[in-house]
Amino acid sequence: MYQIYTADQYLWEGLNLDGKTVLEGGTSWGNTTRRIAEKVKEHQWKTKLISVDIDDSHFDEIKEKLSESFDALDLRKGDLSKLDFIEDNSIDAIICNYTLSSVNQFPLRAVTVLKEFHRALKPGGQLVIMEEIPLWAVEHRDYPYWSQRLRVIKSISILKAMAHFNEIHPNDLEETLKTLNYQEVQYQEFKEAIDSSLATKFLDKRKQTLLKGYNDIDNDHLTKGFVEMTEKLVKELEQEKSFSAPAYIMKASK
Ligand SMILES: C[S@@+](CC[C@H](N)C(=O)[O-])C[C@H]1O[C@@H](n2cnc3c(N)ncnc32)[C@H](O)[C@@H]1O
C-alpha cells in the first residue's frame, strides 16, 4: 500500500450521492456530516442523510446548520450495532469516519456494526470507512505528536479503568469485510493533518477526566505526573498549527 497525502480525492472517487439514501455512522460533532453537506451542495445532489450516534449532544447545532443542504436530514440517537429502525437492503451508501475504533472500545463490537451495515445496504451499495492506523509503539518517529497524544489519552483511560479506543489495522478490517461477504474491498493509506487546536481541546478533556469522576485514582503522585505530561504536550502542540497522523480509507460494496 502506498501513502497519499490527501484523503479527500480518494474518499469521493466513484461516490455519487444524487437521489441516494446515505447512512453516516458516528455523527459526533459533525465533521464528516458537514463535508457530505458541502459535497451535496456543490453538486446539487438530492440526498437523504440518516446520521447515527449513540451520543446526541451535537444534534441540535448540526440540524440548524446543515438541514437545508439535504433533501432530508435524519439525526438518530442509536447504537450502530443495532439499527432496528433501518430496513434490510434500504441504504445506497454508508460513510463511517473515525467511528469503528470508538465502537471497538468493546472489542469485536465493530464486527457486529459491519454486519448491520451489510444488512442495511442495498445490493451493490457502497461502504466507505476512514480510520486511524494503529501504532505498535508510541516512539514512532514519523508521527511524534500523534504517538505522544495516544500515550496520554490511552494511559489516562487505563489508569481510570475506562474503556478506550481500539484502532483496527487495515489488513484486519479488509479480512473482516471479506468474511462478512463484502465485495470489491480495497484501501489506501494516507497521512492526515490533525488540527492542533482540536487535539489540545481533546487532551484538556482527558485531563479533566483524570481529575474528576467517581473512579478517581487514589494516588496523588500518579495523578500529578499525568497532569504534567498532558500539560507539557498541550504546550508543545500550541506551537504547531497541525501535525501528522497515520490513517486509511477502506472501500467495499455489497
Ligand atoms: C471520533 S467520533 C466520530 C467522528 C466523526 N465521524 C468525524 O468524522 O469527525 C466517534 C463517535 O462514535 C460514537 N459511537 C461510539 N460507539 C457507538 C455506537 N456503538 N453506536 C453509535 N455511535 C457510537 C461516539 O459517540 C462518537 O461520537
Q: Which domain holds residue 132?
A: 3-253
Residue the block writes with cell 479533566: 208
Whole-number pLDDT of residue 1: 35
Residue 157, Cβ neighbours under 10 Å: how many? 17
Cβ(39)–Cβ(49) below 8 Å: no
Domain CATH for 46 = 3.40.50.150
CA 10 to chain centre: 17
What pLDDT score was predicted for residue 237? 94
Please report the pLDDT score of residue 161 as a whole number: 86
Q: Which atom of ligand 1 is nearest to the CA of 31?
A: 9
Summarize pLDDT for 31-67 with one digit per residue, the tens: 999 999 999 999 999 999 999 999 999 999 999 999 9
Nearest CA to ligand 1 atom 18: 79
Residue owning the nearest CA to atom 10 of ligand 1? 99
Segments of the chain scoring below 50 in pLDDT: 1-4
User: Taking the mean position of all CA atoms in its chain, how far away is CA 230?
Assistant: 23
**Contact 56 CB / ligand 1 (< 6 Å):** no
Q: Is 55's C-beta closer than 6 angstroms to any atom of ligand 1?
A: yes
**Cα end-to-end distance, the chain, whole Å:** 23
31 CB within 6 A, ligand 1: yes
> For residue 2, what pLDDT is reported?
39
Name the residue of 36, 51, 53 to mutate for ligand 1: max ligand atoms within 8 A of Cβ: 53
Evaluate the CA torsion angle 83, 28, 209, 169 in order and state its sign. positive
For the chain, what percentages of helix, strand and coil (3-state, to nearest 5) are there?
40, 25, 35
Looking at residue 55, its pLDDT comes to: 97
Task: Report the pLDDT value the prediction gives residue 215, as an integer from 0 to 100.
Answer: 53
pLDDT at position 41: 96
* pLDDT at residue number 40: 97
- As for how many domains the chain has, the answer is 1
The CB density around residue 65, as the number of other CB atoms within 10 Å, is 13
Q: Please give the C-alpha separations between residue 154 and each of 147, 161, 193, in angstroms, as whole numbers.
A: 11, 10, 20
